[in-house]
Amino acid sequence: MRIQAGRRGRRRGIVALADMAALLQGAGRESGLLRRGMLRFRYLLAAALALPAAAGYAQPQPLAMQDKAGVSYACGGIGDEGREALLALRPQANIELLLVSEKRGSYLAGVNLRLARAGSGAEGAHIQAEGPICLIQAPPGTYRIDATYEGVTRSRNVTASTGRPKPAVFAFPDSSDLEPETAGARAAR
């Protein structure tokens, strides 16, 4: 904010709040201009402080395990806060999934997961992965995991046991690597 102040000459520059408050104690035309300038500054300051909350940048909610079909899970890992939240939940998990692209190793979100006991024929749990890392707490045993991303399905058997989970990596082709007919058919869905 540029203002003009002082009786011995003109001083132009950025004035701190304390300087503005001291100048407001003056009288006359300069004082009225400064008061309006200070009022505008207060409105701008209030708007600047309110914008992050209005834009959804409020404090992130803590991540918690969700229950579905007899298993607990948490998916995320987007950004530093998301990875830190999952790191705190890692001791609760006995299966860890990492979802990436094949060529670049880019993290993927929006992967559909199906988790069922291997050989059981049961439908199992269906999970929409909201981030590239999924932590799952399941009863001990071997599970068949089907992961589907942009029409491509990858399957793997994973063993849930006690102790630290071993990551199971599911890699999918990059969108640019898929055939044009496949990409067009997928866009039509």
Domains of the chain and CATH, by start: 1-58 (no CATH), 66-176 (2.60.40.1120)
d(CA 60, CA 5): 44
pLDDT of residue 12: 44
Q: What angle do CA 158, 162, 163 make, to 5 degrees?
A: 100
Q: Is the pTM higher than 0.85?
A: no
Q: Which of 14-18, 48-52, 55-59 bottoms out in mean pLDDT, i.e. has the lowest?
A: 14-18
* Residue 41 amino acid letter: F
The residue-averaged pLDDT of 11-39 equals 51
Q: What angle do CA 8, 10, 14 make, to 5 degrees?
A: 125
Helices and strands in the chain: count of H runs, count of E runs: 4, 9
